[in-house]
Amino acid sequence: MGGSEVLKIQEDLYVTVMATYKEIEILRGETWRFSSAYRTVTATNGYLTMSFTTPATGQVTYNFAAISKTGNEAIVNLIEAGTYVDTGSTLLTGYNFNRNIATSCPIIDMKVGLLTGGTTIASGTSLSEDMVPGTSQGNLRAGGTASSGSLVFLKPATRYTLKILSVSGAMTVTANIDLIWEDD
């Protein structure tokens, strides 16, 4: 998903410039990043969530950016149309990748929460599932990361939740989600 454009550099010098879909949308001021900040999941089957509802108009593209963690293994999945209880969650503000554009983000209800704080997600359709490795042996806690270049075009007016589930004990984790919103 890239485009190209021929640019004139000098009188007789032309170059072809290639840009990815995401880079083009950054230039247009239509890409936002949301970060969970570091959170600690304290036990097996505990989880961190980042949840949002897509606007009723326009097209939202989900681009899972990255997860960094220490501690035990984690299963990461994006859940579509799940039941989200936001007790104890925190509202996040996204920042636009094009810092020259003052456009407000249409994703106004991005929330991050921990199961231990009362935030839950149930039902829905799991769109993907990945595992982030890790171990915990005494004071040794190997880190793990995950990132993806894949884009998912999301349905309008639908709740989506990124769920990071601890498979076997405590972990400290941060997640970043990039969302592209193209207005109709």
pLDDT tens-digit readout, 109-154: 999 999 999 999 999 999 888 888 776 544 444 555 555 557 899 9
Best CA proximity match to 23, nearest among 178, 166, 133: 178
d(CA 21, CA 3): 7
The one-letter amino acid code at 84 reads Y
Other beta carbons within 10 angstroms of residue 6's beta carbon come to: 8
d(CA 89, CA 48): 10
Rounded average pLDDT over 10-25: 74
